[in-house]
Amino acid sequence: MKFSNYHFVNEIKNNLEKLGFKKPTDIQFKCIPNILKGEDLLAIAQTGTGKTAAFAIPILHILHSKINTRREDGIKCVVMVPTRELAIQIAEVFNTLGKNTRVNTFSVFGGVEQGPQIAKLEKGIDILVTTPGRMFDLASQGFIKLNRVEILVLDEADHMLDLGFIKDIRDLIRHLPLKRQTLFFSATIDDEIKDLAYSLVKNPIRIQISPKDPVSKNVDHSVMFVNMDDKRFFLERLVNEQSEAKILVFVRTKVRCERVKAAMQRVHISSEYMHGGQEQVDRLSVLNMFKNGTVKLLIATDVSARGIDIPDVDFVVNYDLPDHPESYVHRVGRTGRGRKRGIAYSFCDESEKDLLMLIEEYMGTKIKVSNILHEDYKEVVDLSSAKTLNLKDIIGELKMPPNKRYGVKKSKRKL
């Protein structure tokens, strides 16, 4: 079924057409009709499958159809998310898909001055995309009114529980009208998420896409056994081999972010890092530079793994394996989004093998191993600056997406 066959208002159809959205993804196809019917929903799907549009499109249609030229006071929809970056991103999706509709969307989050946010709220908005802390601050001051909320969306619900937002979620529920529609969206699910969902909604419809394989089929992911002190050499090789590629590197801590950036700087590779210890304005600046391609190599903690849609990430590198198995799914899901292909490598030290085992147990399958011959490994470490060995020869054929081949002959593609 094509989007043109849906009974959306013309403004939304025109926006979808301009964006090149012709057919819904699986999660969109299954969610949109139920949301239009007013059903409560628990939707689980892999990262990069279009979950945001799955709720944004029908919500925009519902609200546009209800809003008259004179807007009633109060917010109609609240979308609660765990991070500031995700709040900004989702608000952008709503504003892009809702261009020329009667629906106003705005995001509020901490880490920035609240004055401009208050000024916008006082003008009147319909959809509020927010993190819990700033929302409750502004609500307690009387700037956010929740008595007219008709739809509540909890996005990245599992991560919100990980960050301890369950009390905030329950506090929010108490401020909302009893008669409302509630939508849960997440890439992973466990008993805690299910219990939360069923405790807050009435008979939700559960929609789950590809539950047996949490990693998208568009992502070719594998693990390489690399000593901790040698990881920088293999990252250097990948960057130099794929000089035009956009590479997202995940590390465990903010200190590791800074150390890996310094290691790359020593071999004249430009990079930026992003972690929770930075000011919000600095994080957004770095994220925007990576999105628009000004920065090709971004080193980040898991603050960037959840829900952030960064266009055209060619490679994800797990420089450190994550402490939480589900984070692996969210990390590698930053590439291979939509219908695009992507590649993810994990560097695993001997001390991280227990973490690898937990990840494989969580996924229910073994991760493919990229074997490295001893002599090749030694050459990467010993001759890093000489760049005589092609990474492709080290770990086997590199399956770059067809639209990301850079037209450089193999004989000239030496590291």
Domains and CATH numbers, the chain: 3-208 (3.40.50.300), 219-412 (3.40.50.300)
Give the Cα separation of 367 and 395 in Å (integer): 15
| Owner of token pair 């905030």 | 168
Which tens digits make up the pLDDT trace of 39-98? Answer: 999 888 776 778 899 999 999 999 998 876 555 667 999 999 988 888 998 999 999 999
DSSP H/E element including 62: helix 51-66
Q: Which tokens is 147 given? A: 């008595």
Buried b (16+ CB within 10 A) or exposed e, 128-155: bbbbbebbbebbeeebbebeebbbbbbb
Percent of the chain's residues with pLDDT above 70: 87
List the alpha helices (DSSP H) in 98-230. 115-123, 132-140, 157-162, 166-175, 191-200
Which tens digits make up the pLDDT trace of 296-310? Answer: 999 999 876 565 678
Longest Cα separation, the chain: 73
Q: 183: exposed, middle or buried (C-beta count within 10 Å: 0-12, 13-18, 19+)?
A: buried
Give the Cα separation of 393 and 371 in Å (integer): 11
| Owner of token pair 């430009």 | 270
Which tens digits make up the pLDDT trace of 160-210? Answer: 776 677 888 888 888 889 889 999 988 777 777 777 777 777 778 888 876
Give pLDDT, residue 376: 85
* Measured CA angle at 355 (ends 350, 360), to 5 deg: 115
